[in-house]
Amino acid sequence: MYTYQDFQKEKDKITGVHNAIVNHLSSDDYKTAKSADEYDHQRNETIYNYVRMIFTMTGTPVEDFTASNNKIASNFFHRLNTQRCTYLLGNGVYFTDHKEEVTDEDGFVSTVDTTKEMLGNRFDTDLKNLGYYALIHKVAFGFWNLDKLHVFPLTEFAPLWDEYDGTLKAGVRFWRIDPNKPLVAVLYEEDGYTKYRSKSNTGIDLEEYKPKQAYKLKVRSSEEDGEEVIGEENYGVLPIVPLWGSKLKQSTLVGMKNSIDSFDLIRSGFANDLTDCAQIYWILENCSGMSDEDLAKFRDRLKINHIAAADTENSKVTPYAQEVPYSARKAYLDEIRAGIYEDFGALDVHAVDAASTNDHLEAAYQPLDEEADDFEYQVIEFIQQILALIGVEDTPIFKRNRISNQKEQTDMVLSAAEYLDDETVLNKLPFVSVDEVANILLKKQQDSEGRFEEDEEFLDEELEDEEGLDEEEDADASGLNNLISQLESIVGGL
């Protein structure tokens, strides 16, 4: 391993960058990551490199050019890693500690996750890509560039680990847009980054073409002078954070590769047997005079041209056919497939009945939940280190992307709704996403306030009407009393 201390001992930075790249390209981690990329693109190396061989009379292996060589590559690796990654990160990440109500031009009030706003609109997408690389490569690296996350896969980044505490102290990002184009490399250190490129199109003969600069630049703009750098600032630590795919710190290809290869070889071999009828053979009678070379030519002519000349008066050629063992191979393929899903901890949708209850679904998801829990701890640690770079403390949460019997789950939540608060009920409903909960609660609150105001206005109107009736009744009573007094006066005068 080429470490940060080895890098510091070099006579100059160019030599250190060169040695970091060369050592990384020859490392086992890089070779495993490159192999994982091939399997991820359904270019499974073992089946693609497989050549059917035969042995000569002297025991020398040679390629059997007469045999079919179908190469059927399975897509298990991409499928299962995509399932684990999207199960956890498919709905994005949310935060709990920083919420803010914002009023738009129309007066509509909504709740905004200020932590997620600081991370940018592409953070969920970049985090998902980073997580996928971490799973298949063992580790991937996220570079926080002021307000955006850049994804560095292990196949393009040579980490320089500290020998004493195991932390990442520096690293070299390198790439070529084409094998015949120059190599570009960027050295990332705690106090800034430096850019290099190769002098030739094929080598790693580097030269510096952009000197070291800080990660944060203070720029002043004016119409007369344009933009002018007036200050530089760094984070104090390296703004590149590793994201591990699991606590095992190894690629998901380890362990799965042999099972995938076995599945591909058996399925391809079955296709080859069906194509060239390798199970058919011939018995030649009264042909003892033919040499081994003559017999081989006779066989090849039959297999290629499907016809061969024979002296049928003195000899006899009898073909025999053997049935391709389909049942045994099919059973073994099913067993391998089930083993791949079980060992990876994945959900096999073919094993879930359409009428399954939530109890059955929960049991089917248990292995995937256990593996996703391990992955989630790595993602949470990564996000908290990114938040530390921007000076924020918050708690990331995830809502996993899973199938369920939604009617059964909804009925269960609603039956317990009277014992729960509105926020808990909304969080438990399967069809409501995490980012919708705050706005739904806010809208309910606004509707309640609106109805309360309408009720107050109605009560005020009712009170006003009652007061008006009272005044009229008082006026009528006063007039009646005056009339009675007048009648009494008239009667008294008579």
Residues 70, 35: one domain? yes
CA atoms within 13 A on the CB side of 404: 17
pLDDT computed for residue 483 by the predictor: 57
Least reliable range by pLDDT among 2-11, 59-68, 426-435, 453-462:
453-462
- Chosen domain end from 355, 382, 404: 404
- Same domain for 316 and 329: no
Distance CA 412, CA 402 (A): 17
Q: Is residue 261 part of a domain?
A: yes
Highest mean pLDDT (candidates 60-69, 185-194, 210-219, 474-483): 185-194
> Is 335 in the same domain as 314?
no
Are residues 244 and 287 both part of a single domain? Answer: no
Taking alpha carbons only, the member of 411, 425, 405, 401 closest to residue 358 is: 405
Instruction: Decide which of 368, 383, 404 is a domain's last residue.
Output: 404
Confidence check: pLDDT of 93 > 60: yes
- Pairing state of beta strands 206-213 and 192-198? antiparallel
Same structural domain, 144 and 82 = yes
CA 290 to chain centroid: 63
**218 and 233 co-located in one domain:** yes
Distance CA 169, CA 360 (A): 47
Block residue for tokens 């600069």: 213
Which residues constitute the domain of residue 309?
281-320
| 156 DSSP assignment | G
| Same domain assignment for residues 316 and 208 | no
Q: What share of the chain is helix, strand, coil (3-state, %, to 5)?
A: 50, 20, 30
Does 155 lie in the same domain as 299?
Answer: no
Residue 410 lies in a domain: no
| pLDDT at position 359 | 74
The whole model's pTM is what? Answer: 0.75
Domain end call among 387, 404, 421? 404
Please say if the pLDDT value at position 162 is more than 80.
Answer: yes
Sort strands 53-55 and 61-63 into parallel, antiparallel or unpaired. antiparallel
In a domain, 229, yes or no: yes
Strands, E, within 342-467: which ranges?
Answer: 396-398
The CA–CA distances, whole Å, from 231 to 147, 188, 218, 403 equal 18, 19, 5, 52
Structural domain contains residue 421: no
Q: Are residues 157 and 292 in the same domain?
A: no
- 101 and 211 in one domain? yes
pLDDT-based confidence at residue 4 (cuts at 50, 70, 90): very high
The more confident residue out of 238 and 285 is: 238
Q: Is residue 330 part of a domain?
A: yes
Q: What is the mean pLDDT of residues 383-399?
A: 92
Instruction: Give the span between the Cα atoms of 460 and 388, in whole angstroms.
Output: 54
Do 69 and 132 share a domain, yes or no? yes
pLDDT of residue 351: 75
Count: domains in the chain: 2
The answer to whether residues 363 and 289 belong to one domain is no
In a domain, 45, yes or no: yes
- Which residues sit opposite 233 in a β-bridge? 216
Q: Give residue-wise pLDDT tens across range 140-158.
A: 999 999 889 999 999 999 9
pLDDT higher than 90, residue 384: yes
417 — pLDDT class (breaks 50, 70, 90): confident
Contact in structure between 242 and 131 (CB atoms under 8 Å)? no
Q: Which residue has the tokens 């020859």?
A: 26
Indicate whether 444 pLDDT > 80. Answer: no
